[in-house]
Structure 1
Amino acid sequence: TDEYGFIVLCVNSGSYGNKCKYPLGQNTIADNPGDVDVAIVKGTVPSATNVIVDIYGVPGEPAFGYNTFVNGRVNRREDPENPTFDFANWDIESGSTTSANTDPGCWNGIGDCDVPNVLSLKLIITEIVDPSDGPQNRFVELFSPDKKNYIIPFRQPQGIQDRRVWLHRALCEQC
């Protein structure tokens, strides 16, 4: 995490300068086209004993107009993490958001914003972006209110080719 508790996972670090510490490339969790679910899960993948800590979307169900953000973004309101998707927890913008209108590393006044605020390792999904100016500018932002300046050891487990799976494992080794 950064000094405010954020982890910004992006497709391309060049799009957001020093705000992206984890450029993951295409076909990763950061490369969300605006209609894919995102979850933080404790446990191993796959397993029937996994515990969902936080989620955006409903696994196994197609994204509907009310929860898609193609060429836009979703931004969590000030609600805590929620293991069940609740549309009311999110502000959704779709259709016309460019990367210049996003704010990786800043959420509701916390982080690299105008007025940083220190809070009391929980992770919650705070922003998912699919801006209209290209997939290279997509990112997923997570926030930890109680663990700052934490470095996540990213190492791809042997035999796992899907980076979305091993990213989940890297994040949740620390959960």
Structure 2
Amino acid sequence: MPAGPDWIHEIKHDGYRLIIQREGKRVRLFTRNGNDWSDRFPLITEAALRNRISSFVIDGEAVLLGVDGRSDFNGLHSRKHNDEVQFYAFDILAMQGEDLRPLPLHLRKNNLARLLARPVDGIFVSDFEQGEIGPDLFRHACMTGLEGLVSKHRERPYRGGRSPHWIKVKNRTHHSIDRVKEAFS
């Protein structure tokens, strides 16, 4: 877990990674594999349409919250609650036709905060902390039963795929680890 002052730490929700792409009155939701899930999560789609900016691309996670306020992957995977699934945005890739990916993460986060300044049910800015707090934050995430943290270097541009500047650390006691073990057994 990175501990330097140039790192931003975000909660790793147990959900589906999605890209929201809005162009005018059309909203599309894409998975990492390029599948179009636009009709799957109506709350997210409607929230994107209610934003005052009509052109943007944001990266985040589709999450179903359980009664305890934590993500409920089994409920999400069951597809029985698709109309309750919310989107936690952690990055913005484009806005009003401008490609923001070359900008440092901290500037993209500022743009994301401006885009989502007016709260709309269904899409939220994912909380984050900056600085040397990473290891302490990870210990707390584990104690409270969260899936883990993702740490990103604040000065880096957006890059798809794995990178030494984008580190995911999972809670080894979280139930999502069992799904990984089952997949490989």
Q: Same fold (TM over 0.5)?
A: no
Which structure has greater strand proportion? 2
> Which of the two has higher C-alpha Rg?
2
TM-score normalised by L of structure 2: 0.29
